[in-house]
């Protein structure tokens, strides 16, 4: 089914069909109707490939690569990115990779094959120490990383300074006379490590006692709970918990309760990302808002600039805020 068949059916040239469909020049009403009828009867759908090949407009495709859309934080990022891209007339090609490094690399090379104009990598997990694949991608199209930094030409980062943010959380707790912190995290990504470093460096300076617990992402909730409860038991004077993600903080709150302690009186809890979970938790969860929405807005602004041949900042930080609720 192509434009020629429509033209034949309507008894006109393909040029005329094209004009009618694209409303790109005056065509007599009578002819117009014949063409439109033919289009309808045949169920003709213009071939977008051929079209963009000719007009060289491309589909204005942006490739978004994300490890896991079911992660609430990434889902918010994806939603914001798609919304901002759409605003500017870009389409979104989505690839989810899971946490397997092979899949991540494959996804990047896969995207490169699709006539995309740019790649957005969602999550600092893509900011590896040896970013060969990103280097390759960036040699072909501009690459934008959400909340991660990788030092490669033609690669742009908008991020929240998670080191500072986590440091801020620690200070808030120690200002509140808390002295014995449990830190729970689940990811060794760039941003995950920044948070961890922020925690360690700040608690060390202030002479806070610390215990650090790493959980496996996607392990059963019961398992995480049991690990946290053990950690709390091994260090009964724990008076504050900081988690790298709200869901870990929410689970931790439940563990605190199960240990017969009260939040925040006995144990304060701070989460991270300020997700819906923080509002729904019982007690509601104080959480660090690292402004993922703003990160995405700025990223797409930069993308738009770069694709228009303008300059854009290589790295750009957004601010953060500790949203206080019942848990601290």
Partner DNA sequence: CTGAAAGCGCTTACAG
| Preceding peptide of 283 cis, ω within 30° | yes
Residue 25 interacts with DNA (CB under 7 A): yes or no: yes
Shortest distance in whole angstroms from residue 19 CB to a copy of itself: 17
Shortest distance in whole angstroms from residue 135 CB to DNA: 21
Residue 22 interacts with DNA (CB under 7 A): yes or no: yes
The burial of 64, by beta-carbon neighbours within 10 Å (0-12 exposed, 13-18 middle, 19 or more buried), is given as buried
- Contact 3/46 with Cβ under 8 angstroms? yes
| Rounded Cα gap, residues 225 and 214, in angstroms | 12
Residues 248-287, interacting with DNA (CB under 7 A): none
Residue 209 interacts with a copy of itself (CB under 8 A): yes or no: no
Residue 201 interacts with a copy of itself (CB under 8 A): yes or no: no
3-class SS string, 122-158: ECHHHCCCCCHHHHHHHCCCCEEEECCCCCCCCEEEE
Residue 28 interacts with DNA (CB under 7 A): yes or no: yes
141 binds, among DNA, a copy of itself, none (CB under 5 to 8 A by kind): a copy of itself
Placement of tokens 């590896």 in the chain: 128
Residue 21 interacts with DNA (CB under 7 A): yes or no: yes
Exactly one of 37, 41, 50, 109 binds DNA (CB under 7 A); that residue is 50
DSSP assignment of 40-98, as one string?
Answer: HHHT----HHHHHHHH-----EEEEEES-TTSHHHHHHHHHHHHHHHHTT-EEEEEE-T
Residue 36 interacts with a copy of itself (CB under 8 A): yes or no: no
- Contact 153/314 with Cβ under 8 angstroms? no
Residue 93 interacts with a copy of itself (CB under 8 A): yes or no: yes
Residue 94 interacts with a copy of itself (CB under 8 A): yes or no: yes
Exactly one of 31, 154, 180, 254 binds DNA (CB under 7 A); that residue is 31
How distant, in Å, are the alpha carbons of 14, 253, 319 from that of 273? 55, 16, 13
Please give the order of strands across the beta sheet that includes 240-243: 209-214, 180-185, 240-243, 268-272, 286-289, 321-323
| Rounded Cα gap, residues 174 and 178, in angstroms | 5
Q: Candidates 30-38, 78-86, 303-311, 313-321 — which segment interacts with DNA by CB under 7 A?
A: 30-38
Residues 43-62, interacting with a copy of itself (CB under 8 A): 43, 45-50, 52-53, 58-59
Q: Which residues bind a copy of itself (CB under 8 A)?
A: 43, 45-50, 52-53, 58-59, 64, 68-70, 72, 75-76, 78-79, 82-83, 86, 91-96, 112-115, 139-141, 221, 247, 250-251, 253-254, 257, 276-277, 279-282
Q: Which residues bind DNA (CB under 7 A)?
A: 1-4, 11-16, 18-19, 21-22, 24-28, 30-32, 44-47, 50-51, 53-56
């Amino acid at each position: 089914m192509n434009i020629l068949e429509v033209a034949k059916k309507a008894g006109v040239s393909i040029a005329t069909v094209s004009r009618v469909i694209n409303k790109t020049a005056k065509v007599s009403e009578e002819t117009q109707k014949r063409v439109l009828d033919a289009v309808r009867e045949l169920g003709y759908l213009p071939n977008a490939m051929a079209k963009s090949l000719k007009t060289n407009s491309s589909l204005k495709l942006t490739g978004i690569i994300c490890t896991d859309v079911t992660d609430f934080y990434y889902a918010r990022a994806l939603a914001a990115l798609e919304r901002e891209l759409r605003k500017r007339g870009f389409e979104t090609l989505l690839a989810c990779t899971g946490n397997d490094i092979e899949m991540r690399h494959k996804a990047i090379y896969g995207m490169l094959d699709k006539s995309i104009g740019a790649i957005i990598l969602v999550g600092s997990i893509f900011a590896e120490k040896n970013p060969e694949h990103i280097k390759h991608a960036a040699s072909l199209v501009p690459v934008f990383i959400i909340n991660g930094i990788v030092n490669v030409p033609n690669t742009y980062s908008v991020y929240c300074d998670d080191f500072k943010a986590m440091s801020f959380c620690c200070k808030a707790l120690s200002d509140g006379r808390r002295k014995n912190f449990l830190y729970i995290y689940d990811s060794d990504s760039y941003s995950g490590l920044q948070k961890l470093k922020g925690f360690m460096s700040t608690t060390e300076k202030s002479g806070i006692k610390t215990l650090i617990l790493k959980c496996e992402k996607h392990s059963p909730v019961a398992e995480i709970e049991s690990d946290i409860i053990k950690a709390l038991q091994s260090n009964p004077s724990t008076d504050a918990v900081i988690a790298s993600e709200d869901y870990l903080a929410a689970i931790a709150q439940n563990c605190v309760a199960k240990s017969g302690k009260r939040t925040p009186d006995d144990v304060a809890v701070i989460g991270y990302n300020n997700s819906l979970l923080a509002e729904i938790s019982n007690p509601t969860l104080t959480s660090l808002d690292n402004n993922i929405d703003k990160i995405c807005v700025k990223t797409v602004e930069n993308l738009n600039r770069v694709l228009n041949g303008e300059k854009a900042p290589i790295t750009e930080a957004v601010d953060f805020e500790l949203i206080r609720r019942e848990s601290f």
